[in-house]
Amino acid sequence: MQHGTQPDVLLAACISVRFGEKPPVLRDVELQIRRGEVLGLVGQSGAGKSTLAMAILGLLDRKKAQTDGAIELDGCDLLNLRERELRGLRGRKVALVLQSPLSSLNPALKIRTQLKEAWRAHASGSNVDCEAAIRSALESVSLPSSDEFLRKYPSQMSVGQAQRVLIAMAVMHRPALLIADEATSALDVITQSEILALFRELNRSTGMAILYISHDLASVAGICDRIAILHEGQIVELGTTDQVLTNPRHEYTQRLMAAMPKMPQQAAGKAAAV
């Protein structure tokens, strides 16, 4: 990876990750995310998708994981930052949405309390400022901002509502990069479609770049500008959504395409239109 990223490149990574004496989980993975784009990262379970996400966020256990290379976010090399510095970036510059909202939220705390904690992690101000930020974040993900809703516990919401709360917490400080790691895999088909549309709308309205991680090529096709295929710890194919879906070059991508219920030319056209 060349040092000094191009102006339109938000994140540039070139890394290898191994745990102990085991074979590398990631091998010379080179990836760039442009400002304001939605990049899909597709691969089967065990391919290294979540390891890459955790490496970007600085959440790999440094005593167990050996990470070589560089990860530059807005020109800052994340691998050279201390934990305290990384905590200052998480949620403010880069945020994460995981796949299981009901296990990610604290079941013992009301939604208002959890949103307050998310706001105060990177902001200071009055209760009025905090409440305004909370209501704005909820409205951005099409959730009610009423006192009745804010008094709820996670168990009193649907899975789809809980996922929207997680997304509201993640986007509250308008990070430059949102990482969605299998964020729709625990949802039913209709709710999944709604969350995918929400991600795309947040991308359009805020200019936030999104790294959308999934094992499902079909869900990626609907919202991503480009797609990277990760296989056995390496990126084997990278291109625009239309290129990857209509003219897959790598054998593994071709197998993914063959495993889909129908050929996704229609999805590719839809992806190009959004």
How far is Cα 156 from Cα 165, in angstroms, rounded to an integer? 13
Q: In this structure, which long-range contacts are made by residues 264-268, counting pairs with CB atoms below 8 Å and at least 24 apart in sequence?
A: 264/217, 264/218, 264/221, 267/218, 267/221, 267/222, 268/221, 268/241, 268/242
Model confidence at 85, in pLDDT bands (50, 70, 90)?
very high
The verdict on residue 253 lying in a domain is yes
Tell me how many domains the chain contains: 1
Q: What is the pTM of this model?
A: 0.90
Predicted confidence band of residue 169 (pLDDT cuts 50, 70, 90) = very high
Residue 96 clears pLDDT 90, i.e. is over it: yes
Token match 């994981």: residue? 65
pLDDT (tens digit, 9 = 90+) per residue, 9-66?
A: 999 999 999 999 999 999 999 999 999 999 999 998 889 999 999 999 999 998 899 9
- Residue 121 makes CB contacts below 8 A (sequence gap 6+) with 91
Q: What is the mean pLDDT of the chain?
A: 90
Structural domain harbouring 247: 9-93+175-273
The answer as to whether 40 is a domain residue is yes
Backbone φ and ψ of 66, nearest 5°: -105, 115
DSSP label at residue 207: -
**Beta-carbon count within 10 A of 145 CB:** 17
Q: Are 5 and 12 in contact (CB under 8 A)?
A: yes
Bridge partners for 240 per DSSP: 226
Q: Is residue 148 part of a domain?
A: no
Nearby residues of 217 by Cβ (< 8 Å), 6 or more positions away: 42, 227, 245, 256, 257, 260, 264
Question: Does the pLDDT at position 273 exceed 60?
Answer: no
The reported pLDDT for the residue numbered 233 is: 94
Q: Which of 78, 76, 72, 74 is nearest to 31 (CA)?
A: 72
Any domain includes 158: no
For residue 193, give the CATH number of its domain. Answer: 3.40.50.300
Q: Is 153 inside any structural domain? A: no
Residue 118 lies in a domain: no
Q: Is residue 136 part of a domain?
A: no
- Would you say residue 3 lies in a domain? no
Q: Could you read off the pLDDT of 176-217 as tens digits, one per residue?
A: 999 999 998 878 889 999 999 999 999 999 999 999 999 888
